[in-house]
Homo-oligomer: A and B are copies of this chain.
């Protein structure tokens, strides 16, 4: 048996409630001696850590900086290396599209080509988002389908868009239809496997028709497509772990990731308080909740140390409302580190606390990277968090006799 099969064979449905709080980009790096967590006044999280068991989790493995896709898959209990989420899919999830297994997605750029088909600007002079909307609308009206395959195009910011080809049997083993550099000829996609040949023909037919249609739209007179991908063939959390899971997140991308593993997406507002209210409202209906707090990551990405500290303090203030619900198992952790010092995701592990009545408490003083390192959970892969939550909620039978 694989470990996946073992877990599946042991999972049982019970009444206990599991709550996973994901603070995006939680971990940091020291600036003047202190990480963001060490600098923050987070007395609620500190107190909770003192009554929990703690550790450090690696999203993927030592040294690997993950995107949001793999880091969330790991937290949801899936092998993040086995189940790949392509760029096109991530982009589509980011704008809130609901994808099915028949959808082939790609990220697109409007670009400028000269009379010989040579790309003179891969970003079409960064046309305005407004102009982008207009061009997309026009293209959509001109090309609704290609050889029986529906095509939908969704504008993003400036020159960017997402395209979705919808129909049975589409494959994503395709090269980018994008030479990645100015001064080169706009290129077609090529199929990497024989099965993807028909898909490549459809995409290339689309490209030809789009170029034809866009002639009056200079500088946006060509399209480049990259990151062709379909959603991974992944079993739901309900099938795999016998959970009834729900997701609360203010950003579409995280709702989309949760939808990939079969979570119900709960409607919520824009603020942390809205998210907590949503949790309260639906608390009786599900047995696993993923609640996502985004602000820490955005501040880290901007390299804004103080703003990340403030975001942590803001999150700390909603912790008591979560505790009032008395979940049987409460985990607080991050999907990946986003140190302000690096202005981006990083490979550093995240602190984690697990609160349940069936634990040997660590009695640590703070919820920080360095303090959690002293905890009994040790340093371990993020994909083990869900099995641990299931166990602590008495949702796993004994393995073997």
Contacts and interface: CB of A to CB of B under 8 A. Distances in A.
Contact of A391 (B56, B341, B347, B358): B347
Contacts of A397: 65
Interface string A329-350: 0000000000101101111110
A399 B70 contact: yes
Given A379-B378, A390-B63, A69 B401 contact: yes
Given A29-B359, A81-B3, A380-B379, A400 B61 contact: no
Contacts of A7: 64
* A interface: dominant SS: loop
Contacts of A60: 6, 399
Nearest to A65: B398
Interface stretch (A118-126, A163-171, A283-291, A369-377): A369-377
Interface stretch (A84-92, A175-183, A207-215): A84-92
A361 interface: yes
A333 to B, nearest CB: 14
A396 B342 CA distance: 13
B369 A376 contact: yes
A189 B3 CA distance: 27
Interface size bracket, A side: 35 or more
Interface string A62-80: 1111111111000000001
A56 B379 CA distance: 12
Contacts of A65: 391, 396-399
A376 B379 contact: yes
Nearest to A85: B400
B3 A63 contact: no
A30 interface: yes
A370 B66 CA distance: 31
Contacts of A68: 400-401
B360 A348 contact: yes
Contact of A347 (B56, B62, B64, B396): B396
A209 B21 CA distance: 59
Given A358-B342, A380-B379, A400 B66 contact: yes
B70 A387 contact: no
A388 interface: yes
Interface string A201-220: 00000000000000000000
A92 to B, nearest CB: 11
Given A376-B370, A380-B379, A401-B90, A387 B63 contact: yes
Given A348-B360, A376-B369, A391-B347, A67 B384 contact: no
A247 B139 CA distance: 58
Contact of A64 (B63, B91, B380, B387): B387
A206 to B, nearest CB: 23
A358 B346 contact: yes
Contacts of A396: 63-65, 347
A250 interface: no
A64 B358 contact: no
A360 B10 contact: no
A26 to B, nearest CB: 13
Contacts of A29: 358-360
Contacts of A339: 358
Contacts of A132: none
A347 B354 CA distance: 14
9 contacts: A35-B360, A56-B378, A67-B399, A68-B401, A87-B401, A90-B401, A349-B376, A377-B379, A379-B379
Given A67-B401, A87-B401, 9 more contacts: A1-B84, A29-B358, A64-B391, A65-B391, A65-B396, A65-B397, A66-B398, A80-B400, A378-B379
